[in-house]
């Protein structure tokens, strides 16, 4: 069964850091473009970041550029999101999602994890 499992969420104070992990099982993500998408409580989906299959290309939303870093370890079948200088407005469920360019468009992830909640509060 294809699964993406996020971990690393939790409560952090403003200005703090967290590293989210997204582990894949049932498939290898080495061919996939990986995305992080967040959703604040009761709000809509917001794209955060993406990384290409070999990690050579990354992109970020303006709201997180310079604070968040996406990376991947294909040997560990895992993608990461390092989040620094966290703010209250970063509070959200963070989803990782994959887009296999052999199947769908690179902006169209077709498998999503269940999300991990990040709460930024003092």
Partner 1 sequence: QSALTQPASVSGSPGQSITISCTGTSSDVGGYNYVSWYQQHPGKAPKLMIYNVSKRPSGVSNRFSGSKSGNTASLTISGLQAEDEADYYCNSYISTGTVVFGGGTKLTVL
Work out how close the CB of 106 gets to partner 1 at its nearest, in angstroms, rounded to a whole number. 7
Q: How far apart are CA 48 and CA 68, in angstroms?
A: 9
Positions that interact with partner 1 (CB under 8 A): 35, 37, 44-47, 50, 57, 59-63, 95, 97, 103-110, 112-115
Bridge partners, 5 (sequence order): 23
| Minimum gap (Å) between residue 118 Cβ and partner 1 | 16
Question: Least separation, in Å, of the C-beta of 104 and partner 1?
Answer: 5
And the tokens for 118? 């990040």
């Amino acid at each position: 069964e294809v699964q993406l499992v996020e971990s690393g969420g939790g409560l952090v104070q403003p200005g703090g850091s967290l590293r989210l992990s997204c582990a894949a099982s049932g498939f290898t993500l080495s061919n996939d473009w990986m995305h992080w998408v967040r959703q604040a409580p009761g709000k809509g989906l917001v794209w955060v970041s993406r990384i290409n299959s070999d990690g050579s290309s990354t992109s970020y939303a303006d709201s997180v550029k310079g604070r968040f870093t996406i990376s991947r370890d294909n040997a560990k079948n895992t993608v990461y999101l390092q989040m620094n200088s966290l703010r209250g407005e970063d509070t959200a469920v963070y989803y990782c999602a994959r887009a296999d360019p052999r199947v769908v468009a690179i902006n169209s992830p077709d498998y999503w994890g269940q999300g991990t909640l990040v709460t930024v509060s003092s």
